Amino acid sequence: MKKMIIIATYNEKDNIEKILSDVFHYVPDTHILVIDDNSPDKTADIVSNLAETKYNGQLFLIKRAGKLGLGTAYVAGFNWGLERDYDIIGQMDADFSHNPKYLPQMFNTLQTYDMVLGSRYVDGGGVVNWSLKRKLISRGGSLYAKIILGLPFNDLTGGFKCFRREVLETINVNELKSTGYCFQIETTYKAFLNGFKIKEIPIIFEDRILGVSKMSGSIFKEAMLMVLELRKNRANFIKPKK
């Protein structure tokens, strides 16, 4: 099966070369698409050089005009992958909070499931180097979405995920509305409503050591409001069976 991973970046020069190396170490037969939002630290230049000199034919870059949001970056990546006939499309962060060592298990799980969530909140999962406040916000956000949307999953805000292409085609990625971290909730919710089999696997999420977190109060507020909007429009997300 033809596989790719999307990594969205903004100012990740300290991490990008190592994360690319580790992904290719654990899943050498995959391709990586980096989507960079014109990082001032020249992350895109590092990726471009590696694509030409070290990972020719396996590493690709989309450099966007500015900081346009995580959700729109993933939509651009999903469309890129679907247009090139990838069977499996994954997404992960560049800062090592998503450890590439889990990728083989995630890909293997897609032999029997349609979508895989790297979960901090199932047995065997967890977080490292987080403050109590951040733990409460993360767990509370997932619990809030789980209750409001009626979902059976424990980690709805995580961004370490893999999809079969049929999932992305069915939920129509160009209709996704969220731009921040609610994007993660929205993709899982729409996949679940359309009957796809979704599996959570445990991961240990380790907070970034290098670089700066992109989480903000405005992103969290958007997620809380968007969950209510998703619930209100539930019936519109179920696609007719072909």
Give the structural domain span for 13.
3-237
Number of independent structural domains in the chain: 1
pLDDT by residue for the chain (242 residues), tens only, comes to: 999 999 999 999 999 999 999 999 999 999 999 999 999 999 999 999 999 999 999 999 999 999 888 899 999 999 999 999 999 999 999 999 999 999 999 999 999 999 999 999 999 999 998 888 888 888 888 999 999 999 999 999 999 999 999 999 999 999 998 877 789 999 999 999 999 999 999 999 998 554 455 454 566 677 788 999 999 999 999 988 76
Residues 190-242 pLDDT 10s: 999 999 999 999 999 998 554 455 454 566 677 788 999 999 999 999 988 76
pLDDT of residue 53: 97
Residues 6+ apart with CB under 8 A from 80: 33, 60, 62
Closest CA to 189 of 223, 214, 221: 223
Q: Is residue 242 part of a domain?
A: no
Q: Is residue 102 part of a domain?
A: yes
pLDDT of residue 162: 98
CATH number at residue 136: 3.90.550.10
pLDDT of residue 240: 83
Q: Is residue 64 part of a domain?
A: yes
- Please state the pTM of the whole predicted model: 0.93
d(CA 56, CA 59): 6
Distance of CA 180 to the CA centre of its chain: 11
